[in-house]
Amino acid sequence: MTLSIAIAGAAGRMGQAIAAAAGADPRFSIAGGTERAQALGALCGFALSTDAAAAAANAQVWIDFTTPAATLDALNALSSTPVRVAIIGTTGLTPAQEQQVAAHATRIAIVRSGNFSLGVNLLAALVRQAAKALGPEWDIEITEAHHRRKVDAPSGTALLLGEAAAKGRGAALADVRLPAREGITGARPEGGIGFAVVRGGGIVGEHTVAFAAEREVLTLSHQALDRAVFADGALAAAAWAAAKPPGLYSMADVLGL
């Protein structure tokens, strides 16, 4: 039996990647999608609407890589639809918005991740393991690079990696995250996790986690070459979550990490 999906922002870069991946996968059919009014004429091969409830009227799964406000509006609207699974790849949510997403997980299964790539989620597992093994004298620096159109920084993936590193050290990221550096910053405090951001051109996504000691540096990295890796991961998460009860899940749950 196929799973019917509705795609938020279906005419955008990620929306098109998800539609292409779903169209080539016999496990899925596309029931509809949303777009802004000015993009409703886009050729997607399925009906587009500005209204999430209308787009998902015949869908079991909602896939959303849009903006925080649009994602929350859509989750509210989905209560009147047959959707029972939501795959949320939206980044830049505030802690309060994260709590709102979690509240919806009491009625549907939600897989929420800053990155749906298999490689990135394996990287996060390795980062957590390395952080647990190495002491606070090993400085942790996370560098990420994305295309010029990305609006949030650090990326959701960089924060995912930061959370993995902090968890490996038994800490919350909020307690060990270092502020952005500019001007006379003083010496680096021990045990902190720093972030550096690059924006330019059409970079799909590059992430590096460096563990730096006085005499050696360990570097773990990942480079995305095509947005299709995120679409493939989102569909894998959808297929997995379709058999799960309501709850908030991560890609680590999907992959059994």
Q: How many CB atoms lie within 10 A of CB 37?
A: 9
Q: What is the pLDDT of residue 40?
A: 63
pLDDT tier at 43 (50, 70, 90 boundaries)?
low
Q: Does 213 lie in the same domain as 151?
A: yes
Strand partners for 144 = 197, 207
Residue 70: pLDDT over 90 = yes
Catalytic residue, from 104, 132, 146, 207: name it.
Answer: 146
Active site residue 207: no
pLDDT of residue 42: 64
What would the pLDDT profile of 49-67 be if each residue is shown by its tens digit?
999 999 999 999 999 999 9
Residue 66's alpha-carbon distances to 10, 14, 103, 118, in angstroms, are: 10, 9, 19, 20
On whether both 189 and 250 belong to a single domain, the answer is no
- Both 127 and 218 in one domain: the answer is yes
pLDDT digits (tens, 9 = 90+) for 85-96: 999 999 889 999
Classify 159 as helix, strand or coil.
helix
List of residues 6+ apart from 54 with CB closer than 8 A: 32
CATH number (domain holding residue 93): 3.40.50.720
Q: Which amino acid is located at 81 in the chain?
A: T
Tell me if 30 sits within 8 A of 46, measured CB to CB. yes
Map tokens 């929420």 to a residue.
112
pLDDT for position 39: 63
Q: Are residues 50 and 142 both part of a single domain?
A: no
Q: Which of 150, 207, 222, 244 is catalytic?
A: 150
In which domain, by residue range, is 179 found? 118-224
Q: In terms of domains, do 59 and 112 share one? A: yes
Q: Is-above-0.85 flag for pTM?
A: no
- Residue 145 belongs to domain with CATH number: 3.30.360.10
pLDDT at 114: 86
Percent of the chain scoring above 70 in pLDDT: 97
146 in catalytic set: yes
Based on the fold, state whether residues 97 and 25 are members of the same structural domain: yes
- Total domains in the chain come to 2
* Together in a domain, 237 and 111: yes
